[in-house]
Structure 1
């Protein structure tokens, strides 16, 4: 199938079952379709807006063929044969007997083979032929700040060398052009070369180097499945390529981060849909990659701009970067250490609010948070290690502390001493539970989360370090929490 502009004669497009308007392509209703046996038109500039619409349609209807045919033909006319080949193979996967896709794969395979043979013959007969370029080697993703700074330094040095080389070639090309003009010789047209060299000298590399068209979501999914160890890096690189492609499209929304983020979200959903539901959480990688793309490509702002240790959020390496649902960005090394020091209680160290269930699961599954799962289990065990009689004692202590408005607070002091004496008679495991268990309790007046254990609260009250009413508030909520845990255990 080929796409071309309708002729000015007004001849209607042949009917082939394709309705342009129904796919959001009403702007392109003057496109005409003809058989692939017709003479191929000259290579035309790619229409990024049309490509974007077709990709969106494919994502919303993964099993559809029509949009893929349009995209395949447009890629071919634009000279993007590799991309056209990928789409054609997708069509053949969905419909193995599809004739046009099969013909395109066959023709492009033959063309590439012929070009390769011709190039080989030319090199054998022409010693002055240009040496083949070295293959591009993918560098490993930096995992530490030092590695990233070293890689950035190499990039800066390479960019400066490129600019210096382009400046030299630009000067020499202009000299050759001027000499040809003075000699009256027919000058070789070099306007495009001069413009490209000037752009490189000025640092506008993107004006010279074309941005690669993103692969299909299913193609990315296949690469991820084939290399599980690098699956996250694969999808992160794909989303970064998608952002660069959108920004290079020249569309009005190319500079709008919100619009680009919407496109990223749609692409992530498409990749997730193309991945199998496996025990290794492969479907979680695209969502994690979206988090990294927002941080690295869209420069998203977070509630905090520094880590707990005072480092800039922008300097957190990818391997330890994480964002929770409450809008905080974390260095997982720091967050894991803070949670461990808090006996595994999943509370935000900065806001003092409890993390959501989704965040807790993500933190525990993170490579730097694996040890936190055991602490969570320990807290659960401690909550089941307090007997009903001790819970009754806590409830009585809370009632006295909350009701005592006397000046000397002697009743409260006596009750605290009695409870500490009672605690000393308890089995060691139950004493440990009172001293180490952190219950999900909040100050009834301020809403601020309490950040101490039951034992710490009672001892602080005895030492006049904290208000007795606040201690009674915490102990009352702790008694209620322990009673609920005991009821759940019995049921």
Structure 2
């Protein structure tokens, strides 16, 4: 019989002795003496369960043995719980305060103790005191908002300075808290328990407040998210795709009741919702801005996403486009922005100054005469067809073109030097990123091969021919390249 461990013991089991006793029991049954020694050993080491099993077997084998009842009595005896100490009851007494009183008989102060009441009465508060407290609270709240606004301005200026210095920065965790103090929301989404309003009623509010259109739609989409996740306060399991489909349908419902001018705010609102709510899990083509900041840290006022799925800090994007002479090209992929993206960039508050640069580029394309376009076509044909080892025809054609440019009026020379036409490498598909004058000078200085320059000049000439005779009538609607 295998021994099972008991609850406690006073020594270590002697496995050699146990083995010998078990062997003796198996060889010479019933081996009452060996069994009694085994029970005693189990008791000494605390293996009470094994001792009880062997004692019961011993009782059946030797019922008249006087030691067996003693074993069973010892094993069946329940241990007495330890005596509990009487806890001293501490009676709370009223606190005493020592005071000193003047004794006129002795001419000295004597000590005296007085008991204080254990339940002092609460002081009565008058209604006037509540009004003063409410007024103080209101004034303190407005003072806090004023100080928070000052701090917010300083933080934004600090961010701008760090960005100008080219330092990496991330949005402070406290910045959003300070913004919440300065610009408190009148109806927080978390407090709204009912379903979102009808699309018609929300659209009516948006039409009445066009300047707040984006923020109103964001609030409505957040209400829709909250209701979709927990209708009537009961949380539901919903995946990100289903949640986004619900938001897209809500956006479409709002757009159906808005004018074309206000529909763009629906897309902007959904764009911000996807950016600010991590549980929607929107992935972008880039994870960092051009200055190395995290995309998730871009403030709402600066955030914009183009159709190629690049997320931008508009402050950085505007600076990059300015440095590129106003050409509306993706600084990261080198591809031209789509007309929809160009319109979105130009109507953005930070992108409005780019409209003037876009018009300037458009006007440059009008300042190139037909004879110059023909010279460009002639140059491109020579550069593309030249297969000579010494490339003398290409070098001669480049020199002749530069000499021709030198004879042009200053305005046309400026247009040739600064105009960047949309063109792509015919072999790689990579967008070219230089002006006509730069490409020719790079070819002359052996910085760019002649065939690549010819490819660009050919496409630039075609672009100029297509744009001749078209006048930009509205700078706000002007779309360049």
| Structure 1 range deviating more: 450-459 or 215-224 | 215-224
Equivalent-residue separation in structure 2 for 1:211 and 1:476 (angstroms)? 63
Distance in 2, matches of 1:433 and 1:417, equals 19
Structure 1 residues 252 and 402: CA distance shift in structure 2, 3 A: farther
Paired position in structure 1 for 2:246: 263
Match of 1:446 among 414, 428, 439: 428
Is 2:218 aligned against 1:236? Answer: yes
- 1:50 is matched with none
2:174 pairs, out of 143, 150, 170, with: 150
What SS class does the counterpart of residue 355 from structure 1 fall into? coil
TM-score, normalisation: structure 2: 0.58
Match of 2:256 among 262, 269, 273: 273
Paired residue for 1:436? 418
Q: TM-score by structure 1 length?
A: 0.57
Give the 3 Å change call, closer, same or farther, for CA 221–448 of structure 1 in structure 2. same
Aligned-pair CA distance for 1:221: 2.1
1:470 matched to 2:452? The reply is yes
Asked if the contact 2:224–2:247 (Cα under 8 Å) also holds between the matched residues in 1, the reply is yes
| Aligned counterpart in structure 1 of residue 392 of structure 2, from 410, 414, 420 | 410
Aligned positions, number: 308
Larger Rg: 2
| DSSP 3-state at the match of 2:328 | coil
- Give 1:385 deviation, angstroms: 1.0
SS of 1:330's partner is strand
SS of the equivalent of 1:449 reads coil
SS in 1 for 2:312: strand
Q: What does residue 23 of structure 1 align with? A: none
> Contact 1:307–1:331 at 8 Å: present in 2 too?
yes
* 3-state secondary structure, aligned to 2:350: helix
Unaligned runs of 5+ in 2: 1-129, 160-170, 182-189, 472-481
Q: 1:403 to 1:428 in 2, by over 3 A?
A: same
Paired position in structure 1 for 2:54: none
- Structure-2 residue corresponding to 1:314: 296
- 2:303/2:311 contact within 8 Å kept: yes
Find the aligned partners of 2:394 and 2:411 in 1 and give their Cα distance. Answer: 26
Structure 1 pair 210/402, CA: closer, same or farther in 2 (3 Å)? closer
CA–CA distance in structure 2, aligned partners of residues 482 and 251 of structure 1:
63
Which ranges in structure 1 are unaligned for 5 or more consecutive residues? 1-127, 158-205
Equivalent of 1:331 in 313, 321, 325: 313
Q: Which residue of 1 aligns with 2:327?
A: 345
Separation in 2, partners of 1:238, 1:148: 27
The answer (yes or no) to whether the contact 2:240–2:281 under 8 Å persists in 1 is no
CA-to-aligned-CA distance 1:131-190 (integer Å, 9 cap, x gap): 99x9999x9999987797335457999xxxxxxxxxxxxxxxxxxxxxxxxxxxxxxxxx
Separation in 1, partners of 2:311, 2:379 = 40
The alignment's C-alpha RMSD in Å is 3.4
Alignment of 1:125-164 (within 5 A): 149-153=173-177
Residue 246 of structure 1, aligned match among 202, 225, 228: 228
Partner SS, residue 256 of structure 2: helix
Structure 1 residues 253 and 405: alpha-carbon distance in aligned structure 2, compared to 1, 3 A threshold: farther
| Cross-structure match for 1:284 | 264
CA positional deviation for 1:460: 0.5
Change over 3 Å in CA distance of 1:463–1:217 after alignment to 2: same
Say whether the 8 Å CA contact 1:352–1:449 is kept in structure 2.
yes
- 1:120 matched residue in structure 2: none
Contact kept in structure 1, 2:366 and 2:469, CA below 8 Å: no
Question: Structure 1 residues 259, 411: CA separation in 2 closer, same or farther (over 3 Å shift)?
Answer: same
Contact 2:328–2:342 (8 Å) recurs in 1: yes
The 1:237–1:387 alpha-carbon spacing in structure 2 relative to 1, beyond 3 Å, is same
Change (3 A) 1:473 1:253: farther
Secondary structure at the counterpart of residue 381 of structure 2 = helix
* Secondary structure, counterpart of 2:329 in structure 1: coil
Q: Which residue of structure 2 aligns with residue 187 of structure 1?
A: none
Q: What is the Cα deviation at residue 290 of structure 1?
A: 0.9
Whole-angstrom distance in 2 between the partners of 1:367 and 1:155: 20
Instruction: Report the CA distance shift for 1:409/1:154 in structure 2 as closer, same or farther (over 3 A).
Output: closer
3-state SS of 1:326 partner? coil
Q: Hey, what's the Cα distance between the residues in 2 that align with 1:387 and 1:464?
A: 28
Distance 2:321 2:175 in 1: 32
SS of the equivalent of 1:322 reads strand
